[in-house]
Amino acid sequence: MNLVPARSRPEMRERTIAIVGAGLIGTGIAYELAKRGASVTVFDRAEPARAASWAGAGMLAPFSEEMPDPAMLALCRASLEAYPEFVAELRERTGLDAQFLRHGTLHVALDERGLHDLVARAAAYAANGGEVSVLDRAQTLEREAAVSRGVAGSVFIANEAQIDNRRLGRALVAGCAALGVRFEHTDEFALETDARRVRGLRSKRGFVAADTVINAAGAWAGAIDGVPLAARVPVFPVAGEMLAIAVPHAFARALIWHGHTYLVPRSDGRLLVGATVLERGFDTRVTAAGLSALLGAALHAAPSLGTFAVVESWAGLRPGSPDQRPFLGATPLEGYFVAAGHYRNGILLTPITARAVADLVLDGRSDVALGAFAVTRTISQRGLTALEALAAAGASANA
């Protein structure tokens, strides 16, 4: 691992790069660029890593998430494999450990029919690269005693993991700062362009020239002012409500899934329960119906949770994409790049996105296969180009 500050290295590159969005994707890219000697400023309306990056559960679960296609699965698997080194290097550089834990995922079935469905899905998890075992009732309870005594059985995927995304956010911001990345907190900003290329960003504080601008604005990526129509992406918010329960030490170890609800045990004694999936615009309210659905499923899977205190509830906005794949790479506007639309997998895809986008910006190419994620791709499920999907969704550049 080479921790020599990039600025002192002879191959230092003189680039002025602005990143819009200080979430894990934006700070991850900033970190990779700064390691390679670039001059980077990250702009955000909010505190760094406080939107979806803070709200997520940190599940690194490419098999359980049932990816839409092989290209997405391959990208997610590659990012999962990059995680241990990514976190170790950040820890070495900053002293902050984001707690990568590979404790697997346990999908529980509470009746025979559910178990039959789970076992059918297990074959697909295994075919995709999951290290899968089917467990009977006794084996399930032996693995996770918190699960309902009425459990019929389970499917365990050993090679899935979790990260503490809030810690990862703090570590990335610290890593960026150590490498000289600047952070600008600014309320409103717009891209400035000429007929051919990007010129920089204008905010309330004035104009900042940049020869490269990277849109890593998460759920807001489709709504940045000043972006020409041909370079816009059809990214939209998908809300997810969550809650946390304070549980005794060692209550659970694996990620536990029951239907669409997941339980994520954290080392700080909280068990996260998530998440609803709601297309309702930029609305981060936590609703009674959302909490009721999450708690109902959680208590069904692990009834003993009912005796513990709910200590937190919150909602975040996933950056949705029409084909559930992110938009990664250059746009028709010279100097303007996008890294957005990661939907349910932004935390999982942080290491590979950071590396691939830094490659593209600095070298014009990457060894990461990015064809399926091109900004100008056809959105296969709807037979539309990304741009047509944007128009079909009626999105406004100033939403």
Q: Which residues bind ligand GLY (CB under 6 A)?
A: 57, 59, 240, 274-275, 318, 344
For ligand GLY, which is the closer residue by CB, 243 or 360?
Answer: 243
For ligand GLY, which is the closer residue by CB, 183 or 343?
Answer: 343
Least distance in angstroms from the C-beta of 378 to ligand GLY = 25
Q: Residue with the closest Cβ to ligand GLY?
A: 344
For ligand GLY, which is the closer residue by CB, 316 or 335?
Answer: 316
Contact of 322 with 67, CB cutoff 8 Å: no
Least distance in angstroms from the C-beta of 260 to ligand GLY = 9
Least distance in angstroms from the C-beta of 319 to ligand GLY = 10
Least distance in angstroms from the C-beta of 55 to ligand GLY = 9
Residue 110 DSSP one-character state? S
For ligand GLY, which is the closer residue by CB, 21 or 240?
Answer: 240
Helices (H), the chain: 24-35, 52-55, 70-94, 112-127, 137-143, 165-178, 288-301, 350-363, 386-393
Per the listing, tokens 């590659």 go with: 78
Per 3-state DSSP, the chain is made up of helix, strand and coil in percentages (nearest 5) of: 35, 25, 40
For ligand GLY, which is the closer residue by CB, 238 or 328?
Answer: 238
Contact of 140 with 106, CB cutoff 8 Å: yes
For ligand GLY, which is the closer residue by CB, 274 or 326?
Answer: 274
Rounded to the nearest angstrom, the gap between the alpha carbon of residue 63 and the centroid of all alpha carbons in its chain is: 15
Least distance in angstroms from the C-beta of 138 to ligand GLY = 30
Residue 204 structure tokens = 């309330």
Least distance in angstroms from the C-beta of 159 to ligand GLY = 17
Cα 159 to Cα 161: distance, rounded to the nearest angstrom: 7
Q: Which of 339, 378, 394 is nearest to 361 (CA)?
A: 339
